[in-house]
Amino acid sequence: MSARKGKRKEYLTVKDLQKVLDSCTLHLSQLDEVWPHIYIGNVAVAQNKAALLKLADDSTHFDLDVYFQPAADFIHKALKSPGGKVLVHCIMGMSRSSTLVLAYLMIYQHLPLKQALQKLIQKRAIYPNRNFLALLLDLDLQLTKKRKTCQIL
């Protein structure tokens, strides 16, 4: 085998991430603490179910990534305040909310996507849709490139 083949870089795919998610053995509940002081819940935990149902559209084409940084900033700021806790919720508490928490873990806790997924599925049954997984993969690549560039400088 040539040295080039032995050093082949392996990239994660959406299918790889779905395998990690499929390994979760937890049952879905209404509310779980998935990281210290960060909760993911469904709409039953939130105040206004009717309004949230109208706003929630877990479309496979929704550009949730524009909310990654603002949501991560909000979570980070809230956790820094005395006694700070955060509830991140969506209708089922499986896709949107978990995607935003994953983005926070990647941006502020510097966890690679696969490790962030593994941490969350130890605490809650989550399943971001394929589009959200692809957006998280893009974020993971951006953050990896940024960290490598910072190390070189």
Q: Which of 104, 6, 93 is nearest to 56 (CA)?
A: 93
Question: Is 150 part of the annotated catalytic residue set?
Answer: no
Task: Give me the catalytic one of 38, 71, 90, 120.
Answer: 90
Beta bridge partners of 40: 32, 88
Distance of alpha carbon 117 from alpha carbon 58, whole angstroms: 19
- Sign of the Cα pseudo-torsion (96, 98, 102, 108, in order): positive
Concatenated DSSP letters of 78-129: HHHSTT--EEEE-SSSSSHHHHHHHHHHHHHS---HHHHHHHHHTT------
Q: Could you list the active site residues?
A: 90
